[in-house]
Amino acid sequence: MIRPARRRQPAAVVATLLTTVLLLAACGAPPKVQTALEDVGKSDGSATEGAPKGFEDFYGQSLEWTDCGEGFQCAVASAPLSWHDAGSGSIEIALKRIPASGQKVGSLLVNPGGPGGSGVDFVGDPARFGQSLRSSFDIVGFDPRGVGQSTPVKCYDDAGKDEFLSTDYPYTPEGLADRQDAVRAWGQACAENTGPLLGNVDTQSAAKDMDMLRGALGDDKLNFLGFSYGTQLGATYAGLFPARTGRLVLDGALDTTLASDEVALQQAEGFESALRAYVTDCQASSDCPLTGDVTSGLQQIQAMVEDAEPNPIPTSSERSVTKKLAFYGVAVTMYDEGSWSFLTQALQEVFWEGTGDDLLYLADVYNDRNEDGTFKSNSEEAFRAINCADDRAEEDMTQMRELAADIEEAAPTLGESFGYSGIECTDWPYPPAEQEFDQAAKGAPPIVVVGTTNDPATPYRWAESLASTLSSGTLVTYEGEGHTAYGRSNTCVSTAVEDYLVEGTVPEDGLTC
C-alpha cells in the first residue's frame, strides 16, 4: 500500500523529488467568470460561536505566537483528545505561519498531504506560495493530530521501523501470514506507545481541529489550500461545516466516494501510466539503460523489482535493496517528472554496475530515513494510523487474492505491490470512525478542485469525481505529469488558484491549463 499524498521536502541533492517550486511554461491566464461572495475577513471576536457544547475553551484559546527564526512564527494549540468527549483530556497541535506581508485579509491553513505530512515543515519554504498569497494571508501550516510536532503516533524505535519498512513477505500463504503477523505487531506497538490518541486520529477529528483553529485564529470562515490527502481533509471540513467554509482549493484530489480496494486498483493504474511515460522519455535518450520498446523497458523494471526479493541488490554499505525498497525507490520518482533523471541514474547503476546505492537513497527519501538509520518524521506511523482510523479494505483472504489478480492485470509492472491492502490494518486496536459528514458539502461556497492528467498517486479521475461529488465543486485541469499542480506546473494554474483564494474569483469550471 503506497502513500498517495506524499509531498515532503527531500534532501537538497534531490530537491526536485516530490515537490518543486519551479514554474513551467505558462498556458495563459484563466478567464474570470464568477466572484465568490463570502467574506474572508477577521471575526468580530466571537471565536467560540459555533463551538460544540463543552468545547468552547478550545475555540476561544489565545494562541501565543513566538518568533521561530527566518521570519516565521510558531505556536502550539490545544485540541481535545476526543471530539466526542469534552472531558477526555487534550493534545497539542503544532503551528507555524508566514505572517502576511501586506494588507491581511485572514488566515490560510495549508496541508501538504500524507496522511502524515507535516504542514509545519511545508510552510518552511515560502517560495511554494505565490506573492499574492503571502501578501494577503497569514499562511498557517499545522501538523494534524498524530503527526510530527503535534502529539504524535508512536510505534517502533528506529531499528524496528527500519526492519518493518524493508522486509519482504512473499505472496504465498506463508508469506502473507507472516505479513499479517508483522502488521499486527506494529499495531500493538502503536497502541502501547501512543495510548488512546491512536483511536482518535481519523480525518473527521482532524477536520474538527481545523474548525477549532479557525476560531482560535479569529477567522469567521476557514480558508484552506490542501494537497492530495489534504483534499480529503478539506472536503471533510466542508461537509462538516459548510456554513463556515471560506475559500477552499483542493489540489491532487482523493475521491471520497471510493472504497479502499478501489483506491488501490486505480492508484496502481496511475503509477503504471506514469511509468510508461517515464520509460518513453528515458528511451528517447542514448543513456537510458532500458532496452527495446516501451513494453520491454517496463518489463525490465518489473524484473529488477521482482528479483530483489530472492536476490537483494548490494550496495556499498552493509544494507541491500530488498524488493520493497526497490519499489519505493522507483515509485518516489513518479511524483514529479523533474525526478525522472534520478531514476535513470539509479537504473544505470543497477543494470550496468550491479549495485543499488542510488536506488536505496531514493527509497530512503521516500521513507524519510536518514543515512544513520534514524527517521526525519513519523510519517509512516501517522499514515497507517490515520488510514486505519478512516476505512478498512477487504480483509477476506480469498477476495484479497481476486482483487490482487485484478490489480496485477491492470498494472503489470508494479501492481503486485498494491495488492492485499486489507492486510495493512490486521487486528488494528481501534475500529474505524463512523462517517458524520455530507460528502456533497451542500451549502458550501465554490470549492476549486485541481487535477493533473497523468498524476500517478491521485489519478485525474479522482479530481473529476470530487468536483462532481461536491455540490459547489469547480474543476481545473493541468495537462501534465506528476503529483498535484499548484507550485509545480504553470502560471495558468497558479493564477486560477491565487485569484480565487485572494479575490474570490472562481475559475471557469472545466478550465484546462
* Residues acting as catalytic residues: 228, 455, 483
SS3 269: helix
Nearest to 62 by CA among 44, 41, 49, 45: 45
Ordered alpha helix ranges (H), 391-490: 397-410, 460-469
- 332: DSSP letter: G
For 492, the grid coordinates are: 495558468
Nearest to 344 by CA among 429, 415, 274, 285: 285
For 163, the grid coordinates are: 526492519
DSSP 214-252: HHHHTBSSEEEEEETHHHHHHHHHHHH-GGGEEEEEEES
The answer to whether 403 and 419 have CB atoms below 8 angstroms apart is yes
Ordered alpha helix ranges (H), 1-68: 56-59
Tell me the C-alpha distance between 184 and 192, whole Å.
12
Tell me the C-alpha distance between 260 and 469, whole Å.
18
Residue 143, CB half-sphere, CA atoms under 13 Å: how many?
Answer: 28
Degrees to nearest 5, angle at CA 269 with 230 and 410: 150
Tell me the C-alpha distance between 358 and 187, whole Å.
31
